[in-house]
Amino acid sequence: MEKVISIIIPAYNEQENVSLVAKAIKDVFQNIQNYDYRILFVDDGSTDNTLQKIKELSAQDNHICYLEFSRNFGKEIATTAGIQHCQGDACIMVDADLQHPVDLIPKFIAKWEKGADIVTGIREKNKNEGWIKKVGSYFFYKIINAIGDVKVVPRATDLHKKKKKVIKEYKRFTEKERMTRALIDWMGFKRDYIYFNANERANGEASYSKFKLLKLALNSFVSYSLFPLRLAGYLGFLIIFTFGPAGLFILVGKYFLNNSFAWSFSGPAQLAILLAFLIGIILVSLGLISFYIAAIHREVLNRPLYVVRESKFD
């Protein structure tokens, strides 16, 4: 039986690109035997003629289906909707702007057939990426891998290919703010990687603005790491363990040992040390509260407790 691959394409104001990307994918599949494909466009509330174009394509070709969002919800949500609605044995996410080289699809299929559950494309370089995005993405991965609960593979793009069981497990995530690739990394599974060079965007401007990317980055820090929350506590410990001994030294030195160095601290200085010590206590208390908030946070995220790779019951 032919296996069916779903190609999920989030599209936001891509009127010139949707037919190009559909054509490119069609060409690729014409050269692959034993695999059929479906293209699932997710129109992310485009304000231009993207939807119109997608509808035309879908009318001409029954490989092509679509989902129209009522407004712009962002790419992460669009890809998630695609995963939730796609059919077939595996899915792959491709950008509408032809930046992902679709002729790599056979390679993805090959890796998948060799046993990988998730095949991730890793972008080697992005020609039209400005320095802000480059520096930003460098620090983003550095920070999230340093403080996060999951390891996110640097420069992994959303050119992902996943098997049915991964899709099934992915549908169990309920969190609202999400970064698709970090969730996929969180899930584990057998993974494989393909390195590629991103093309230039075919038409139009990148709509993933720097602001949106920053927002995504901040959201990811919050959802994938509790470190920012614990920072107050760590700071508190630091303060207590520096100012506590200092204060103690001055008190004991002045009133018990009559040490001249201890006497060199004025009354106000003593008061400042006392205040810092008390602030330290407050911060540590905040840190303690953060543990409870973290527990609530985990409950609210409602992530699946575990992800099953295989089972045999009957």
Give me the residues that bind ligand UDP (CB under 6 A), please: 10-12, 14, 44, 72, 74-75, 78, 95-97, 99, 201, 206-208
Distances (CA, A) of 218 to 37, 182, 213, 228: 36, 13, 9, 11
What is the rounded CA–CA span in Å between residue 180 and residue 147? 18
DSSP 26-72: HHHHHT-SSEEEEEEEEE-S-SSSHHHHHHHHHHH-TTEEEEE-SS-
Residue type at position 6:
S
What is the rounded CA–CA span in Å between residue 202 and residue 94? 14
Residues that bind Mg ion (CB under 5 A): 97, 99, 201, 206
For residue 104, the 8-state DSSP code is: G
Q: Which of 132, 127, 314, 121 is nearest to 217 (CA)?
A: 132
Nearer to Mg ion, 162 or 201 (CB): 201
Binds 14, which of ligand UDP, Mg ion, none (CB < 5 to 8 A, cut-off by type)? ligand UDP
Q: Which residues contact 66 (CB under 8 A, 6 or more apart)?
A: 40, 41, 42, 43, 51, 54, 55, 58
Binds 207, which of ligand UDP, Mg ion, none (CB < 5 to 8 A, cut-off by type)? ligand UDP
